[in-house]
Amino acid sequence: MSKEGRPDVPELEILSVIGFYGSVYAGLKVHPDREHFIYPLGNTVIVEHITSHRQYFLTGHTNDVSCIAVSNSGKYLASGQITHMGFKADVIIWDYSNKELYCRLTLHKVKVQSLAFSPKDTFLVSLGGQDDGSIVVWDVKSKEAVCGAPAAVKSAGTTYCVAYCNNDDFKFVSGGDGTIRVWTLDLKNRKIPAVDCNMGQLKRIVKCIEVAEDDSYFYCGTTSGDVLKMNIKNHILSFFGPEKDKFSMGVTSLALVKTGAILIGGGDGTVAICKGDKFKRMKSAKVKGASAITSLALRGNGHQFFVGAANSQVYLFNFAEFTHEILSTCHAAAVNDIVFPAESSELFATCSRNDIRIWNAGTGKELLRISVPNMTCHAIDFMRNGKCIVSAWDDNKLRAFFPESGKLMYMIEDAHNKEVTAIATTSDCKRIISGGGEGQVRVWEVSRNRQSLVEAMKEHKGAVSCIKVRKNDQECISASEDGTCIIWDLQRFVRNQVIFANTLFKCVCYHPDEHQVITSGTDRKIGYWETYNAAAIREVDGSMSGSINGMDMAPDGQCFVTGGDDKLIKVWNYKEGKVTSIGKGHSGFINRLRVCPQQKLIVSVSKDGAIICWKYPVC
């Protein structure tokens, strides 16, 4: 049995995390200490130092984080999550100074939509999602619910956001589809009576709310591309605008600056400063490469502010000059593969939907992005000489790129009858072995100017999930979801051996001496096999829950690493078949992982778009 539940197994040290869950509205926050920003990644809340980039990880949610709030004093953080239909969604309050869980609050169903702290940190108000439709006020000190109420009248739609007043612990506002309400907390009677704001003939869907510093007005960003200015005292619409120059694809985020200006983020990637009752644009910038602006986070009085985009990019803006620079990038979709160049641990490449990216392993900075719009890259590999990146795509094509510029070197059309799912290269850099969704393994003779099919080997009945080539280029092994691993002769293009198991094989690895291979898949077992006759040597339990999707052998052959649907990285002693270290940090299913050639790092990638670098342990 694996030792994953035993406390005596040491934990792997996380060196860095590349990732930001940009689709969470108002998910990027700057802490009042002005030195850290807070953001979600899967089911983890990350606190990162702005200059040193040191990261702290707050783990406790069982599913993806859906909203974040920071108290005015900075003492507390709060985060809500989304969960499966019929289950309760937790709100967690964190003690910021100790970076630990303060309390867990459970009442909402399916999703927590929005959170807000009262000015003096006395109360936390939480808003449930579409399937819950309730607002609950919590006492932070006693860790209990004070009262709750439906978020809107039955005739109105979903409520999307909630915001507290800046000077009154007993008043907050909410907005959504055809509903804007001002709430007053009656602590004595444990009620929260609400007053619906009068918008006249105006019909709007509110996505974000900001309250003025003196609590006289609050501002609502709408999907129609304008901003509403509401009077808190008489609950009447004061102004709305801009009338003509509306924000394309809606107003998705708001922030109020001390000067009285309003920062507005649009659904088309526009960031603008507006002033006056008509919300006239004073300055505007279209953020290149960004999708919807989901977060605007002021640092201090707003001389700098951070912008978070839905495609998981973070930008730093200078307020006075209104210029911006990209601060961090990451994949916005599941990362499908990771690979190091031969003999190099300084950089690595990852692939996802729409792109391939090359990263600096030490700093976590993106060095190069190769974009292929609307396509998903399933697998990548570096040629051994480092002059080419080859990739497998879901449009049935193989693409090769120059690693310095990212320009296309060549493309093989219709490389497979279905999507290309696996790829490997030979050490002489003359051949590519590819696997397809139809089960074929194909060998290609490639050069910069000519690419030709040498042989198509048709034995697998299911998609090929992984291919590994021997050092002498005379043999390769392919793992398939049909329950077989086949060792192929690359000289005669025939099957040498076949491994059968009652599983969907996801990964396979040669031991460095190449006398044995290890396999794993959906049955959660790790199998050891002889290469010369495909005889089973041993089988160990690789996971308590979920399939094993990724596996890699350390260059010295003493250890190997695995990762999968249990979200754990495990380092195994090869000879003993026992877990020596466990890495906890991923919040999504792990798709692939690699040990760097110098055996200093383990890099793992997951379904939630996260890339985590781990310190390689002493086996």
Q: What is the pLDDT of residues 553-591, one digit of tens each?
A: 999 999 999 999 999 999 999 999 999 999 988 888 999
Q: How would you classify the pairing of strands 431-436 and 441-446?
A: antiparallel
Q: What is the pLDDT of residue 123?
A: 96
Q: What is the mean pLDDT of residues 237-242?
A: 89
Q: What are the tokens at 67?
A: 């909203």
Domain tally, the chain? 2
Question: 181 and 196 in contact (C-beta within 8 Å)?
Answer: yes
Average pLDDT over residues 503-521: 94
Query: In degrees to the nearest 10, what's the CA dihedral of 505, 506, 510, 512?
Result: -150
Arithmetic mean of pLDDT, 387-416: 94
Number of helices (H) and strands (E) in the chain: give both, helices first. Answer: 0, 55
Average of pLDDT values for 368-395? 94
Decide if pLDDT at 211 tops 70: yes
User: Last residue of a domain, which of 172, 196, 220?
Assistant: 196
Cα dihedral 39/44/47/51 (nearest 10): -70
Q: Which residues of 588-611 are buried (b: 16+ CB within 10 A; e: fewer)?
A: bbbbbbbbbeeeebbbbbbbbbbb
For residue 441, what are the contacts with CB-CB under 8 A and spacing of at least 6? 433, 434, 435, 456, 457, 459, 460, 464, 467, 476, 478, 486, 488
Whether residue 184 is predicted with pLDDT greater than 90 in this model: the reply is yes
pLDDT at 619: 66
Domain that holds residue 404: 337-614
Query: Within a domain: residue 271?
Result: no
Q: What is the mean pLDDT of residues 594-616?
A: 93
CATH number at residue 356: 2.130.10.10
User: How far apart are the C-alpha atoms of 160 and 116, rounded to whole Å?
Assistant: 13
Q: Considering only CA atoms, which of 248, 163, 157 is closest in space to residue 205?
A: 157
CA–CA separation, 489 vs 463, rounded Å? 20
What is the CA angle 325-331-334, rounded to 5? 170
pLDDT tier for residue 446 given thresholds of 50, 70 and 90:
very high
pLDDT bracket for residue 3 (50, 70, 90): very low
Q: Read off the pLDDT of residues 256-312 as tens digits, 9 standing for 90 and up.
A: 998 888 999 999 999 999 988 788 888 999 988 778 999 999 987 768 899 999 988
pLDDT band for position 44 (cuts 50, 70, 90)? confident
- Domain membership of residue 469 (yes or no) is yes
Mean pLDDT score, 480-501: 93
272 lies in a domain?
Answer: no
Contact 23, 291 (CB under 8 A): no
- 383 against 2, higher pLDDT: 383
Phi first, then psi: what are they for 174, rounded to 5°? -140, 155
pLDDT of res. 1: 39
Domain assignment of residue 207, yes or no:
no
Whether omega for the bond prior to residue 242 falls within 30 degrees of 0, making it cis, is yes
| 219 located within any domain | no
What mean pLDDT is reported for the chain? 92
Query: Torsion angle of alpha carbons 532, 537, 542, 547, nearest 10°?
Result: 50
In a domain, 307, yes or no: no
Place of tokens 């606190």: 47
Predicted confidence (pLDDT) at residue 598 exceeds the cutoff of 80: yes
Residue 141 in domain: yes
N-terminal to C-terminal alpha carbon distance within the chain: 19
Instruction: Give the whole-angstrom CA distance, residue 302 versus residue 265.
Output: 15
- Residue 313 falls inside a structural domain: no
CA–CA dist 212, 500 (Å, integer): 67
Last residue of a domain, one of 160, 178, 196: 196
pLDDT computed for residue 4 by the predictor:
46
| pLDDT greater than 60 at residue 6 | no
State residue 7's pLDDT score.
Answer: 53
Give CB contacts under 8 A, 24+ apart, made by 476-480. Answer: 476/424, 476/433, 476/441, 477/508, 477/510, 477/517, 477/531, 478/422, 478/433, 478/435, 478/441, 478/508, 479/505, 479/506, 479/507, 479/508, 479/519, 479/521, 480/435, 480/439, 480/505
DSSP for 6-45, please give it: -TTSPBPPEEEEE---TTSTT--EE-TTSSEEEEEETTEE
